[in-house]
Amino acid sequence: MPSSTEKKTAMVTGAAGTLGLVVTKALLAQGMRVVMADVNQERLDELSASLPGETFPFAFNLGDPVQVKTAWEKIQKAVGTVDVLVNNAGILTNNKLETTSAEEWQRVIDVNVNGVFYLSQLVVPGMKSKKWGRIINTSSLAAKTGGITAGTAYSTSKGAVISFTFSLAAELACHGITVNGIAPAYVRTPMVTEQLSEAQRAEVMAKIPVGRFCEPEEFAHVVLFLVDDKAGFITGEIIDQNGGLHFD
Ligand SMILES: NC(=O)c1ccc[n+]([C@@H]2O[C@H](COP(=O)([O-])OP(=O)(O)OC[C@H]3O[C@@H](n4cnc5c(N)ncnc54)[C@H](O)[C@@H]3O)[C@@H](O)[C@H]2O)c1
């Protein structure tokens, strides 16, 4: 376990996106160092320079195992091991079965599933060496409902993220590493405000019992909860954050 005086290091993927950035800010506010991973170096550098605290921006394509490995070697040189991994990067497509191309399917699985696997595999040995770690995977309500508006590839990819979470949780619990997931729905981000039509948004809003979209800061709050030392007995859990759209 990192000593109480040692700063913890977190890594957030999709850190240049809406939720990734809010999570990065929340972790920085806890005094952690944050490796910000995303695809666009320029955007990452800009964001990193604008944030208070210690950030380490690294651009690479999570869907490419070679790029992930090369980036990880550089990250290790810069920060050493990572204590908290927030697998947050993801791409949304809304095509259902018959309109999903093989290319789209592959692209979504590469980023949303394979990237989570590539990175977790590289980060876990460092967590094991410290006998402490937190992995938080971003699934989606779509994994459980089949996708109200989300497409087939996306819903499938987020289902795989849940199974991956269970598998790692079982394997890593004895090493002091917890692995949990969050299944949000309709967070007020461009995925909702831009990728859905006005009619779709109105239809969805009418179905959400809480009567509003989720705020990005509410998502970051769940991440902080799972990162906390006192959440150490929670592993293999998928926390629903869907405003009452679905219970299980
Ligand atoms: N917004 C929602 O309502 C919602 C609901 C459920 C789940 N989610 C999930 O939350 C996560 C974050 O969503 P968001 O709304 O912040 O989306 P976003 O599009 O704002 O951010 C996603 C980030 O991932 C990055 N990314 C995409 N492909 C990448 C790749 N190949 N390599 C590295 N980085 C890559 C993007 O550049 C982007 O910055 C996603 O996994 C998404 O599926 C979001």
Beta carbons within 8 Å of 41's beta carbon, 6+ residues apart? 57, 59
Q: Which pair of tokens denotes residue 59?
A: 């651009």
Q: Whose CA is nearest to atom 19 of ligand 1?
A: 17
Q: Is residue 3 part of a domain?
A: no
Q: Whose CA is nearest to atom 5 of ligand 1?
A: 185
Please give the tally of structural domains in the chain. 1
Q: Is residue 4 part of a domain?
A: no
Q: Which of 72, 105, 118, 154 is catalytic?
A: 154
Q: Is residue 157 part of a domain?
A: yes
Q: Is residue 135 part of a domain?
A: yes
CA 211 to chain centroid: 25
Q: What is the CATH number of the domain that holds 48?
A: 3.40.50.720
Nearest to 92 by CA among 163, 58, 142, 135: 142
CA of 90 to the centre of ligand 1 (A): 4
C-beta of 190 in contact with ligand 1 (< 6 A) = yes
- Please give the number of the atom of ligand 1 that sits closest to the Cα of 111: 31
Instruction: Give catalytic status of residue 154 as yes or no.
Output: yes
Measured distance CA(18)–CA(15) in Å, rounded: 8
CA of 110 to the centre of ligand 1 (A): 13
C-beta of 147 in contact with ligand 1 (< 6 A) = no
Q: Is residue 47 part of a domain?
A: yes
Q: Is residue 2 part of a domain?
A: no
Q: What is the pLDDT of residue 236?
A: 98
∠ CA(127), CA(52), CA(4), 5° rounding?
Answer: 40
Q: Give me the residues of the chain with pLDDT under 50, please.
A: none
CA 101 to chain centroid: 25
- Give me the DSSP letters along 158-197: HHHHHHHHHHHHHHHGGGTEEEEEEEE--BSSHHHHTTS-
pTM check: above 0.75: yes
Q: Which of 189, 213, 223, 238 to mutate to test the pocket of ligand 1 (most atoms within 8 A of CB)?
A: 189
Q: Is residue 109 part of a domain?
A: yes
- What is the identity of the amino acid at 125? P
Q: What is the pLDDT of residue 3?
A: 61
Q: What is the pLDDT of residue 1?
A: 66
Q: What is the pLDDT of residue 5?
A: 62
Q: What is the pLDDT of residue 39?
A: 97
Q: Is residue 172 part of a domain?
A: yes
C-beta of 16 in contact with ligand 1 (< 6 A) = yes
Give the domain extent around 119.
Answer: 9-240
